[in-house]
Structure 1
Amino acid sequence: MIRAFTLPLARPLPTARGTIETRSGVLFARDGGVGEATPLPGWTESLEDCGSALRAADAADDWASALAACEDAPAARHAVSLAKLDAEARNADVPLAAHLADDPADSVAVNATVGDANAQDTAEAVRNAADAGFDTVKVKVGARSLDEDVERLRAAHAVTDATLRADANGAWSRERAREAFERLEGLHVAYVEQPLSADDLEGHRGLGDDGVGVALDEALVTHEYEAVLDAADYVVLKPMVLGGVDRAREAALEAREADVEPVVTTTVDAVVARTAALHLAASLPDLPACGLATADRLAEDFAADPAPVAEGRMVVPDAPGHGVEVSVDA
């Protein structure tokens, strides 16, 4: 059974393909489990292709056939594979995290995100996040000059002991990135996310030698995973983009084997996928703060949130399955 949905964003979301004001997707239900597909063009298949794949999956006779119908549509496969995991966990009467791992965490640290602003406003926003309990704050960079961005991060460092992250969204050249990494040393910046274009994997290999790590995000869409691991200190794993919680978990474990640290995030998903990502993060030991505090990007949701952010953490629901109660036939 499938059900389409559209949710308004609390504020417009700028992307490489333009600004979006809503998040649309499809819920998929089978055998008592529910999954969510919320595609984001440029990262996943289109909403139209996602819907076509899920209609084929809905008509399939079994789970294997349903998953096969979505093989070329990662968001659709996310929904089907999550519905399968949810059904299995509910049948076993355990939370999804406990279905994924023997000793999952009870809660997961999450980072706050601060957008572009001048140094004073950036520092104030970072301090407010730290006062709210966040130990890690990601600051968007790249829209201003390097001098301005360094000053913003220096001002943020001056007002808090919180760990900082910088997200450049591929805005820097190799020369600017090298200078940035040198100047950010000593400012509690754990890593810079996607400092160069996603296409420039080789350029990323030359960064990260000054105490500031390299995190790759968009590069996972355009390169083989093994090559990304060879160029990164951290990988930003979005289950919706990777084709499911199951595949994201495999990617996280593979990263750990390569001495690369995984960070689980969302693509501004609705409550089912967002909560499933929380279960995934809980199933992986000792993760750094994850990018799961995205519920406030939505003006409304289609079901109650069982894991709101409090003091910079999200508590994993202890109900069977992913813990979100939603009717697909509504």
Structure 2
Amino acid sequence: MQELASRLFEKRKSGSDLKALARELMRGFYDVCTSSGLDRVLADIATANPPLDVSERSTLEEHEPLFTAVVQQIEAINLDGGGPRNAKVPQLANCLVAGLGLALVDEPDKRIPLDGTVRAEVVRTIAAALETELAIPKMRESIVDDARRRVDEVHHSAFNKIVAQLDDRGVKMLKQPKVPLEAQTAADRALLDARNALIARVGGVAIDRAKAVIAKANADAAARIDLPVTLRATPREVALLRACQVHLAASNVATSLVDSLTELARIAWRLPEKPVHPYSASKTFAIGELIEHPKFGRGEVVSMLAGRIDVQFPEGKFTLVHVPPRR
């Protein structure tokens, strides 16, 4: 919510309508909840404010008591008054929390630690699952074929003109053709749905394969992928929802899926340990390498000059000799 408040505060002009700001805050809050698996928070707000229905993005701001409460909270902090600007953002976030009748709590750390090598395998697995389906030109062909099936036949002629102007990914229009507005709207909707369906399909396969990799390391961590984050939405569902928002390229979708599963399934990746090399004056070492010295113990090479290296050991920094690298 701090990020949301910061973004809205920075773009707001001094003296502008506080009610408009409240609406944007409440819409943004809804988006944060749906994109973070926090559907329980929305459900709790609905329970506390019957007959509120939180199935739509606009329902929070349309609930008069909640909207009024948020506006009053914002009015009370005097956004356009004095005081440091950096204090206004957390105040604005707190206005939203208070107006919606929420209380922030610190949850216990329930992350499951997994080795960094597992993450590397997950990344490779997801990338491999996406590579073929999201490659050019197959991706464009899949999107266009699916979208055509979604468009009413009466718009097919206009649809063909529209897709002829799509880029090689089937995402952007290179040139706007002259077609009826109704046909353009129908085509845009069909293309968007087709893109999202493609990500849901290939992303689902990628997550299945990643889940199998994670299960070999920790069955509980793998199971979390299809368990609710808070109420009903699962890490899988939210990860696919987020992936639909990134630029449609295999690398972007893969990164989004890995990051989302890590966050929502609460996985903590351990960094891979550096290899430790036994020290010998006849070897060549590089900055950052770990060495094991018979007298000083384990240390890290922090600097080097020709045939000498400085190594940081637990008892201090010592200069040792080595074979300088060839130029």
Asked which structure has the greater RCO (Cα within 8 Å, sep 6+), the reply is 1
Superposition TM-score tier, normalisation by shorter sequence: under 0.3
Structure with the greater alpha carbon radius of gyration? 2
Structure having the higher strand fraction is 1
Structure having the higher helix fraction is 2
Q: TM-score under structure 1 normalisation? A: 0.24
